[in-house]
Amino acid sequence: VIEIGQPEHSVITTCAYCGVGCTFKAEMRGNEVVRMVPWKDGKANRGHSCVKGRFAWGYASHKERILNPMIRESIDQPWREVSWEEAIAHTASEFKRIQAKYGRLSIGGITSSRCTNEETFLVQKLIRGGFGNNNVDTCARVCHSPTGYGLSQTYGTSAGTQDFDSVEQSDVILLIGANPTDAHPVFGSRMKKRLREGAKLIVLDPRRIDLVRMPHVEASYHLPLRPGTNVAVLTALAHVVVTEGLADEHFVRERCDWDEFQDWAAFVADPRHSPEAIAELAGVPAEDIRAAARLYATGGNGAIYYGLGVTEHSQGSTTVMAIANLAMATGNIGRPGVGVNPLRGQNNVQGACDMGSFPHELSGYRHVSGDETRQLFESLWGVSLDSEPGLRIPNMLDAAVDGVFKGLYVQGEDILQSDPDTKHVAAGLAAMECVVVQDLFLNETANYAHVFLPGSTFLEKDGTFTNAERRIQRVRKVMPSKSGKADWEITLDIAQAMGFDMHYAHPSEIMDEIAALTPSFAGVSYAKLDAEGSVQWPCNEKAPLGTPVMHIDGFVRGKGRFMVTEYVATDERTGPRFPLLLTTGRILSQYNVGAQTRRTENVVWHGEDRLEIHPHDAEQRGIQDGQWVKLASRSGETSLRALITERVAPGVVYTTFHHPGTQANVVTTDFSDWATNCPEYKVTAVQVMPSNGP
Q: Least distance in Å: CB of 363 to ligand SF4? A: 24
Piece of 16-24, 404-412, 535-543, 682-690 that binds ligand SF4 (CB under 6 A)? 16-24
**CB of 211 vs ligand SF4, minimal distance in Å:** 15
Which x/- pattern over 92-111 shows residues binding ligand SF4 (rule: CB under 6 A)? --------------------
Shortest spacing between CB 47 and ligand SF4, in angstroms: 11
Q: Assign 3-class secondary structure to 404-434.
A: CCCEEEEECCCHHHHCCCHHHHHHHHHCCCE
Residue closer to ligand SF4 (CB basis): 140 or 629 = 140
The site that binds ligand SF4 (CB under 6 A) totals a number of residues, namely 14
Stretch that binds ligand SF4, among 11-19, 118-126, 223-231, 268-276 (CB under 6 A): 11-19
- Residue 290 Cβ vs ligand SF4, minimum distance, rounded to whole Å: 35
Question: 667 — phi, psi (to 5°)?
Answer: -90, -35
Q: Kindly write out the interface string for residues 128-167 of this chain, putting x where it contacts ligand SF4 by CB under 6 A and - elsewhere.
A: ----------------------------------------
Q: Cβ of residue 185: shortest distance to ligand SF4, in angstroms? A: 5
**Strand arrangement, sheet containing 451-454:** 80-81, 70-71, 451-454, 434-439, 407-411, 107-111, 136-138
- How far apart are alpha carbons 52 and 70 in whole angstroms? 30
Site for ligand SF4 in 39-58 (CB under 6 A): 45, 49-50, 52-53
362 is an interface residue for ligand SF4 by CB under 6 A? no
Please return the burial class of 694, using the count of CB atoms within 10 Å of its CB with bins 0-12, 13-18 and 19+. exposed
Nearer to ligand SF4, 53 or 351 (CB): 53
Q: Which window, 12-20, 168-176, 193-201, 570-578, contacts ligand SF4 (CB under 6 A)?
A: 12-20
Candidate list 18, 393, 431, 437; residue touching ligand SF4; CB under 6 A: 18
Q: Determine the residue type at 136.
A: V
- Nearest CA-CA partner of 257 in 550, 565, 558: 558
Is the distance from CB of 563 to CB of 325 less than 8 angstroms?
Answer: yes
Q: Looking at 14-22, 100-108, 142-150, 218-226, which segment touches ligand SF4 (CB under 6 A)?
A: 14-22
Which is nearer to ligand SF4, 590 or 635 (by Cβ)?
Answer: 590
Least CB distance from residue 606 to ligand SF4, whole Å?
A: 14
> Residues 6 or more apart from 179 whose CB is under 8 A from it?
205, 207, 209, 210, 211, 307, 585, 586
Could you say which of 12, 17, 293, 303 contacts ligand SF4 (CB under 6 A)?
17
Nearest residue to ligand SF4, using CB? 53
Q: Which secondary structure element, helix H or strand E, spans residue 147, and what is its range?
A: helix 145-154
User: Please, which residue, 21 or 390, has the CB nearer to ligand SF4?
Assistant: 21
Cβ of residue 54: shortest distance to ligand SF4, in angstroms?
6
Pick the closer one to ligand SF4 by CB: 20 or 683: 20
- The DSSP-derived string for 552-603 is SSSBTTBSB----------S----SSS-EEEEEE--TT--TT-TTGGGSGGG
| C-beta of 315 vs 473, nearer to ligand SF4 | 473
CA-nearest of 524, 177, 518 to 341 is 177
Cα–Cα distance measured from residue 264 to residue 516, given in angstroms and rounded to the nearest whole number: 39
In whole angstroms, give the CA distance from residue 590 to residue 580.
Answer: 26
Minimum Å distance from CB 134 to ligand SF4? 31
| Binding-site member from 20, 295, 425, 510 for ligand SF4 (CB under 6 A) | 20
CB 546 within 8 A of CB 539: yes
Smaller CB distance to ligand SF4: residue 190 or 374? 190
Site for ligand SF4 in 176-195 (CB under 6 A): 184-186
8 Å CB contact between 474 and 13: yes
Question: Which is closer to ligand SF4, CB of 20 or CB of 201?
Answer: 20
Return the number of the residue (45 or 662) whose C-beta is nearest ligand SF4: 45
Binding mask 628-657 toward ligand SF4 (x if CB under 6 A, else -) reads ------------------------------
Q: Which is nearer to ligand SF4, 51 or 543 (CB)?
A: 51
> Shortest CA distance to 652 belongs to which of 622, 694, 682?
682
Compare residues 48 and 406 and give the one whose CB is closer to ligand SF4.
Answer: 48
DSSP 3-state percent helix, strand, coil across the chain (nearest 5): 35, 20, 45
Residue 228 to residue 205: CA distance in whole angstroms: 11
Q: Which is nearer to ligand SF4, 16 or 510 (CB)?
A: 16
User: CB of residue 342 vs ligand SF4: minimum separation in angstroms?
Assistant: 15
Burial of 555 (0-12, 13-18, 19+ CB in 10 A): buried
Q: Which is closer to ligand SF4, CB of 299 or CB of 345?
A: 345
Point out which residues pair with 408 in neighbouring strands.
108, 435
* In the complex, least distance from residue 49 CB atom to ligand SF4, rounded to whole angstroms: 4
Q: Rounded CA gap, 152 and 100, in Å?
A: 37
Nearest Cα to Cα of residue 470 among 381, 538, 533 = 538
Identify which of residues 285 and 533 has a Cβ nearer to ligand SF4 in the complex.
533
Q: Which is nearer to ligand SF4, 18 or 174 (CB)?
A: 18
- Residue from the set 10, 12, 15, 159 that interacts with ligand SF4 by CB under 6 A: 15
| Residue 538 preceded by cis peptide, ω within 30 | yes
545 Cβ contact partners less than 8 Å away, ≥ 6 residues apart? 532, 535, 539
128: closest CA among 299, 360, 341, 352?
Answer: 360
User: What are the residue ranges of helices labelled H in 12-141?
Assistant: 51-55, 84-102, 117-125
Question: Of 12, 22, 175, 324, which one interacts with ligand SF4 (CB under 6 A)?
Answer: 22
Taking the complex as a whole, the smallest distance from the CB of residue 189 to ligand SF4 amounts, in Å, to 9
Residues that bind ligand SF4 (CB under 6 A): 15, 17-18, 20-22, 45, 49-50, 52-53, 184-186
